[in-house]
């Protein structure tokens, strides 16, 4: 919606509803912005993925018991 109006209209109609549509800025995703932080985040994601994979993979000993 596009509306030309005074600042009072904005303060009365837009500002009260803005928080229902947009999350607070401190809760939004903030991706890494430099190469060092990017590599650290990729390493963290890889470690999480490997931990999940090991947790959900069947043990070789239990599969041989069947």
Question: Considering the chain, what percentage of its residues have pLDDT values greater than 90?
Answer: 38
Question: Considering the chain, what percentage of its residues have pLDDT values greater than 70?
Answer: 83
Is the pLDDT reported for residue 35 higher than 80? yes
pLDDT digits (tens, 9 = 90+) for 45-60: 999 999 999 998 877 5
pLDDT of residue 23: 85
Closest C-alpha to 41, from 51, 30, 52: 30
Is the pLDDT reported for residue 32 higher than 80? yes
33 pLDDT band, cuts 50/70/90, is very high
Q: DSSP assignment of 21-66, as one string?
A: HS--GGGS-----SHHHHHHHHHHHHHHHHHHHHHHSPPHHHHHT-
């Amino acid at each position: 919606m596009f509306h030309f109006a005074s600042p009072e209209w904005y303060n009365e109609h837009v500002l009260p509803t803005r928080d229902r549509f947009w999350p607070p800025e401190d809760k939004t995703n903030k991706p890494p912005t430099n190469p060092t932080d990017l590599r650290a985040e990729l390493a963290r994601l890889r470690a999480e993925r490997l931990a999940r994979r090991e947790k959900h993979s069947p043990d070789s000993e239990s599969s041989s018991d069947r």
